[in-house]
Amino acid sequence: MITLEEAFTIVTSDLPRTGIEVIDFRMATGRVLAEDIFSDMDMPPFDKSAVDGYACRRSDIGSTMRLLEVIAAGKLPTRRIEPGTCSKIMTGAMLPENADCVVMVEQTSENDSMVTVTDQKTKNNIAYCAEDLKKGALVISEETLLQPQHIAVLASVGAVKPKVFKKVKICVFSTGDELVEPDEVPETSKIRNSNGSQLVSQAVRMGAEVEYGGIVPDNEDITREKLVEAFQIHDVIILSGGISMGDFDYIPKILNELQVNTLIRSIAVQPGKPTVFARSGNKFVFALPGNPVSSFNIFEILAKPFIYRLMGHHWQPLILRLPISETFIRKGTARLGFVPATIKPDGSVKALIYNGSAHINALVTANALISIPLGIASVTKGELVDVRLI
């Protein structure tokens, strides 16, 4: 049994990255940038008004000014501001020549094309050329996971065809003779396959290209065939079940036969101890425990950073330190515990009660995982705990 840190190092070391492709920037949400993006212009590209008001000379503010023109956003001013004159200007419009200040419309009165400033304390209200960004400046770095705000920046610098890393190709299998697909009604002794869809959903949410390979029966030959077949197309195979100590847990043996090098067999985490990570060249197998809470947990804490790195992004979990809302006690302390939890509106975190790692329903209101360090059996109400968003 190795620690989570050791497992993290193994799954994130010496990884290849997927190839690079050029895509439309509108489709790039959730993709990882494969190039640095630079601004192709100053921003703002010209001095512009930050308010609706009157552009004038600050030295004229005490006297009545003659209105020259109205400058709409997107239009060029045609008149230069001379002493004793002003131009009405809209937010975002280009400042006329010789103006050094814009008085907000609310602080003025206009009568017969003559403008008086009623409140003489005014800021300049000008967004100056290049104050946000200089032409040629780095705006988004390679390896950034693109979110809506990045899409806006790509749009603003005209980077409409960014290079991004290709999606990782993942195949998800569920092993177990007891499983039936979710659209079937299980007969006695069977259960619905919930892991398969959960893992597909977790991988899809990360922007991977995921195929669901179906339920694989607890049969050595069929399992071997399925793995060999999936390796032809996919970079990563994610399996659930079949790695414990049961009579029909064949996965470790088959990986060995296929000369896929098993690098992890079990991890000191709870839930999710029986986890297998294996590698053959640039093909990988993640075999997760069959219990749905365990499989969810291991995907979050290990498969996720691994898959992001294959796609070029150095993902790290966001860990918050929050007070726990009720005293929490656990039995064993030999493993790093992960407890599904809800972050409450008051900023505290509530550990969710769950019966065991099959109790997936407990996760319905979970938005986080609390981690309880090795050797710690209890946390008192109000104590700070590490909380990872999911």
- What is the contact surface with ligand AMP in residues (CB under 6 A)? 174, 176, 178-179, 191, 193-196, 240-242, 244, 246, 289-292, 358
Q: Is 244 or 333 the residue whose CB approaches ligand AMP more closely? A: 244
d(CA 267, CA 3): 6
Nearer to ligand AMP, 77 or 241 (CB): 241
Instruction: Find which of Mg ion, ligand AMP, none residue 311 binds, CB within 5 to 8 Å per kind.
Output: none
Q: How far is the CB of 241 from Mg ion (least distance, A)?
A: 4
Residue whose Cβ sits closest to ligand AMP = 290
Q: 207 is in the binding site of which of Mg ion, ligand AMP, none (Cβ under 5 to 8 A by kind)? A: none
Between 174 and 270, CB nearer to Mg ion: 174
Return the one option of ligand AMP, Mg ion, none that residue 179 interacts with (CB less than 5 to 8 A, by type).
ligand AMP
124 binds, among ligand AMP, Mg ion, none (CB under 5 to 8 A by kind): none
List of residues contacting Mg ion (CB under 5 A): 176, 241-242, 290
Cβ proximity to ligand AMP, 18 vs 174, nearer residue: 174
Give the shortest CB-171-to-ligand AMP separation in angstroms: 15
Choose between 207 and 242: whose C-beta lies nearer to ligand AMP.
242
Question: Which two structure tokens, joined as six digits, stand for 305?
Answer: 């950073």
Q: Which is nearer to Mg ion, 213 or 242 (CB)?
A: 242
Least distance from C-beta 354 to ligand AMP, angstroms? 14
Q: What's the CA gap between 175 and 193, in Å, rounded?
A: 9
Q: What count of Cα atoms within 13 Å lies in the side-chain half-sphere of residue 389?
A: 7
In the complex, what is the shortest distance from the CB of residue 359 to Mg ion, in angstroms, rounded to a whole number? 17
Shortest distance, position 216 Cβ to ligand AMP, whole Å: 10
